Homo-oligomer: A and B are copies of this chain.
Amino acid sequence: MPSPKIIRQLMATFLVALCGATGAKVVIAAPNPEETSPVRAPSLIIAGAPDTDWRAVRPENLLILELPSGPVTIELAEQFAPGHVANVRKLVTQGFYDNLAMYRVIDGFVAQGGDQSGQRETGKAKRTIPAEFTTGAIAADKFNPIPGPDGYAEETGFSGGFPAARDPASGKTWMVHCYGSVAMAREEGADSGGTDFYIVIGSAQRYLDRNTTVFGRVISGMEAVQQLARGNGPGGLLAEPAVNRIASARLASQLPAAERPAAQVMRTDSASFAELVRSRRNRPESWFRYRPDHTDVCAIGVPVRFSGN
């Protein structure tokens, strides 16, 4: 479907063609006020967003990995991948990931961690679980689309703070592979995985959408992920993965209340976020000489803030 802008341009062209030769005044259809009203710069939108446009990350959805260069916090997306999130919570609370490593790191692609040996006891958790590549469980009013086009999906947008895509025909929704997305690795032939996860550390890897289960995203600490040693072995495996040791993995809900990171994510169904999307499509700052009237689902960035406890 042509964008409203293109429709307006076509209408203008049509009216010029219709009226131009006669010199009649060309009347253009009134533009959509929401699209033409001034937007603020992203920094101002984020700084000025009222408290009601933020939500606190639930402690049981806040996963903290301690890597050699510092902590990484991940918000788990239980609405997209309830089975995966439940399994990861069980693994974490059993200390499964402690003293394991990020054993496969390919620059510009992914950093993968977990139980490379496949020998560690999974306890109450499972080593493999059913895939959750897509979900139909998200109500239509919980998905906030952004304008297209997008080559990988019919429709993209956000749901509950996560970048996502949707197939309007089937209603299926899925999280997309942006910088910082966290997904479960899986083996050839299996449609499920359970313990070993990867983090996207370069360009968006949208070709993996619907091929693995995305179950969260990094909300702080990507710089610590980027400091990991890269693997030079086949498939990016490290010869000495212990240099990328995961000292511990904890849910914020396991920590005393006073020690929990007070992470807040901007509500992606808020007026502030809607303005942010518009601002990303056409940056208002005078520095910009070209405005594409477009932004990609992975180029928006859902704002995160941490407040004191």
Contact = CB atoms under 8 A, between A and B. Distances in A.
Given A202-B179, A283-B207, A149 B149 contact: yes
B289 A204 contact: no
A4 interface: no
B180 A108 contact: yes
Contacts of A189: 286-287
A189 B288 CA distance: 9
A91 interface: no
Contacts of A222: 107-108, 202
A206 interface: yes
A35 interface: no
Interface stretch (A238-246, A250-258, A291-299): A291-299
B178 A292 contact: no
Interface string A221-262: 011001100100000000000000000000000000000000
A294 B288 CA distance: 30
Interface residues of A, number: 44
A189 B201 CA distance: 33
A84 interface: no
Contact of A207 (B179, B202, B207, B295): B295
Contacts of A201: 226
A151 B294 contact: yes
A288 B298 CA distance: 22
A289 B108 contact: no
A292 B202 contact: no
Nearest to A282: B207
Contacts of A115: none
B152 A178 contact: no
Interface string A68-96: 00000000000000000000000000000
A210 interface: yes
A206 B133 contact: no
Contact of A296 (B191, B206, B292): B206
Contact of A289 (B153, B205, B210, B296): B210
Contact of A227 (B226, B283, B287, B288): B226
Interface string A184-207: 000011010000000001111111
Interface string A269-309: 00000000000100100111110101110110100000000
A204 B299 contact: yes
A16 to B, nearest CB: 17
8 contacts: A107-B226, A133-B289, A133-B290, A201-B226, A203-B298, A204-B296, A210-B289, A211-B289
Among all A-B residue pairs, the 5 with the closest Cβ atoms: A151-B294, A210-B290, A149-B149, A226-B226, A107-B223
